[in-house]
A = this chain, B = another copy of it.
Amino acid sequence: MGKLFVIKIGGNIIDDEAKLDRFLKAFSLINEKKILVHGGGKLATDFAEKLGIKQKVLDGRRITDAETLKVVTMVYAGYINKNIVARLQSYHCNALGLCGADGDAILAHKRNHPVIDYGFAGDIDTVNTKLLALLLQQDITPVIAPITHNQKGQLLNTNADTIAQELARGLSDDYEVSLVYSFERKGVLLDVHDEDSVIRQLNKVDYYQLKSKDRIFAGMLPKLDNAFIALGSGVKKVIIGNAEEIGELIRGKQGTTIMND
């Protein structure tokens, strides 16, 4: 099976033009097949503010009312996605931007929560791996914005980490997939105040030991729980680390590499 990297870049990198550019340049040099999933960054919040749309956030998740959905569709699937694609094209990486509605790439449903109405937030049902495999076969690099749809004409705001995970899982039948979460930190840290305390390798047993001793930074727990879910369903490895070291990251020379054992 051919290798595939599903790489998520976090918001903080997107907000910094110079960092984003260095990341995209290094990303374009990855020879293996690759998919880029990007988050939204602060830009959507900035635009919503300028337009006088108040933003509500509950448990770290944006409440997506109709006006906010408009803004995130414009900013994520329009501004950010197309600028990333144009930049990658300039580095000779044949990128093609998609949201989940395009080619029915990612089908989702409106989040159903007993207490909180998250508005137009989408939870993923299925990923169209046939379309993505078709593009990859043509040496096209899909660049995915975190907007999905419900096949009934409704766009939905969807967590980019989850999209990356579902793409990685879905494509594991056809590829040897490494799922990479790249952001502004160097990896999973033993001491959140010490960037040099990166855990270089992590397996399930070690993770639960560290977790039980409260040695893992709380903000990292959902990413890691998701990582092990991904590993449990066919993903070969999960790598977490600094987006600016993406070249070293995917070779296991930087960051945290997570495997089942």
Q: Please tell me if the beta carbons of A89 and B151 are within 8 angstroms of each other in the complex.
A: yes
- Chain A interface helix/strand/loop/mixed: helix
Judged by a CB distance under 8 angstroms, whether A70 is at the interface is: yes
Q: Which of A35-62 contact B (CB under 8 A)?
A: 47, 50-51
Which stretch of A71-79, A184-192, A198-206, A227-235 is in the interface?
A: A71-79
A154 CB contacts on chain B under 8 angstroms: 86
Q: Which of B78, B87, B94 contacts A103 (CB 8 A)?
A: B94
**Chain B: CB-nearest residue to A52:** B50
Q: How many chain A residues have a CB neighbour from B under 8 Å?
A: 40
Q: Is A31 an interface residue (CB 8 A)?
A: no
Question: How many copies of the polypeptide does the oligomer hold?
Answer: 2
Query: Which of chain B's residues have a CB closer than 8 A to the CB of A79?
Result: 70, 73-74, 78
Scan residues 78-124 of chain A and give those whose CB is less than 8 A from a CB of chain B.
78-79, 81-83, 85-87, 89-90, 94-99, 101-104
Question: CB distance A78 to B74 under 8 Å?
Answer: yes
**A89 and B104 contact, CB distance less than 8 A:** yes
Q: Please list the residues of chain A having a beta carbon within 8 angstroms of any beta carbon in chain B.
A: 47, 50-51, 70, 73-79, 81-83, 85-87, 89-90, 94-99, 101-104, 131, 134, 138, 140, 147, 149, 151-155
- What are the 8 A-B residue pairs with the smallest beta carbon separation, nearest first? A78-B78, A90-B153, A74-B74, A74-B78, A96-B103, A86-B101, A96-B102, A86-B149
